[in-house]
Structure 1
Amino acid sequence: MDFFDSFPEPAPPPEQPPLPPRPTWMKPDAVIPADMAENAIIVHQERLAIAIGGLSVYPNGFDFSIHIRTRDDIERIDPHGRRRRRDYVRNTVTPDSGDPTQDFRIGVLFADGRRAASNQPRPHLTPDHEVDPDEAVLLSSRGGGGGRSYDMTYWIHPLPPEGPVTIVVSWLAHGITEVRHELDGAAIRAAAEKAVQLWPDDQPLQGWVGSPQ
């Protein structure tokens, strides 16, 4: 008998539940988006500036970037809207009980009245859950920074109807009650036609990477 054959066969791995299909509201992986230039400075104060960068348009939505620059260190207030207090001695991070209305907030309003916001609770928004086709979704997609510079990207689903797409920004901690900037819904829909679908994006979802906001 061969040396290795003398050992018992390992037990088969436990059967795993089937992976959920990719929900329609999620940004697709198998698409090269169409880019749209925007680059609009929507806040320009003595010590703070906020700009909307370019858009990347997909068949089922679009994302856009937000750039924050300030002369002051704003580490205590995370522009993503999640307050955290860091203890550098214990190396721990705990929630800050400060007023969340003071945080950076961002929202979107479609011409047909559908809207979504970063402070909107979405406990149901999981990979195995679909949303109502008439519901707008706004998610923090990626980003980071620290100190005096932040760059974030937000994902919006679905494609907007024709008409203005209004991006709304509020940051009461910095005296910004509400600032609005309009995008062109028709231009976004036209750009979506130029997005390239590389192959069917029908693989089961392997993991959940995202932050419903």
Structure 2
Amino acid sequence: MSFFSRDGAEHAHPERPPWMGVPEDEVGVAVPMRPAIVQQGDWAVGIAALTAFRFGFVAALAIRGRKEDDRSWPQGLLRGAPQPDELHYGFDLGEQGSVSNVTGTQTAILGAMAGVPSGPVMMPGGGGGGGKSFTMNLWVWPLPEAELSAVVKWEERGISETHLDLDAQALRAASTETLVLWNEE
């Protein structure tokens, strides 16, 4: 028998909970919207696009600069809580709570090991860019019931805390139009 043999046994893959990320069996729907961006001097940051799913959404966090910058500004996006002068971002879902890169998704996830998180979850997804632009996708759970705003702050770039209103109703409407693949219900 080979070291890598499975002994013919099938290994069941546990179903991923809906709060943990973009559904693997669903194609989301783009939400019609104008980008919600705050601009200060040579920098702009905000939400460029939303994609709805049945239980959450993906927001495209867009960062744009007018000129090349030799500082590694996307660095704070890819690790835990940001330093005070780095980019802060998150979402306010009204009475459902809020989540940000400061409060941390890890807190919600650790609290959910035995079940469902006690508040909203935000998980970084794919993205890229460099020089003068960067975009990162963020998975946010759950869908907002009534209110939704993105909140950004980047003191180093002169951007004070700004709430960018997003259309929660349009997001919820789009979530009913997603394509569920391999629906076995």
Question: What TM-score comes out, normalization by structure 1 length?
Answer: 0.71
Aligned position for 1:54: 49
Instruction: Work out whether 1:192 is the aligned partner of 2:175.
Output: yes
Separation in 2, partners of 1:75, 1:191: 38
> What is the CA-CA distance between 1:54 and the residue it aligns to?
1.7
**Normalization by structure 2: what TM-score?**
0.80
5 Å matches for 1:139-158?
Answer: 139-158=123-142
CA spacing shift, 1:31–1:12, aligned 2, 3 Å:
closer
* Cα distance in 1, alignment partners of residues 168 and 70 from structure 2: 33
Kindly provide the amino acid, as one letter, of the partner of residue 67 in structure 1. Answer: A
Structure 1's unaligned 5+ residue stretches are 1-8, 84-98, 202-213
1:22 alignment counterpart:
16
Correspondences of 1:33-182 after superposition (within 5 Å): 33-70=28-65, 71-73=67-69, 75-78=71-74, 80-82=76-78, 100-121=83-104, 122=106, 125=109, 129=113, 132=116, 134-162=118-146, 164-182=147-165
Runs (5+) with no aligned partner, structure 2: none
User: Given that residues 49 and 59 in structure 2 are in contact (C-alpha distance below 8 angstroms), is that contact kept between their aligned partners in structure 1?
Assistant: yes
Aligned-pair identity in percent equals: 26
Asked whether the equivalents of residues 166 and 180 of structure 1 are also in contact (C-alpha less than 8 Å), the reply is: yes
- Give the whole-Å Cα distance in 2 for the aligned partners of 1:130 and 1:124: 11
CA RMSD of aligned residues (A): 2.9
2:177 alignment partner, SS class: coil
Q: How many residue pairs were aligned?
A: 177
Name the structure with the higher helix share.
2
CA shift, 1:117, in A, is 0.5
TM-fit CA distance, 1:188: 1.4
Cα distance in 2 for residues equivalent to 1:22 and 1:143: 22
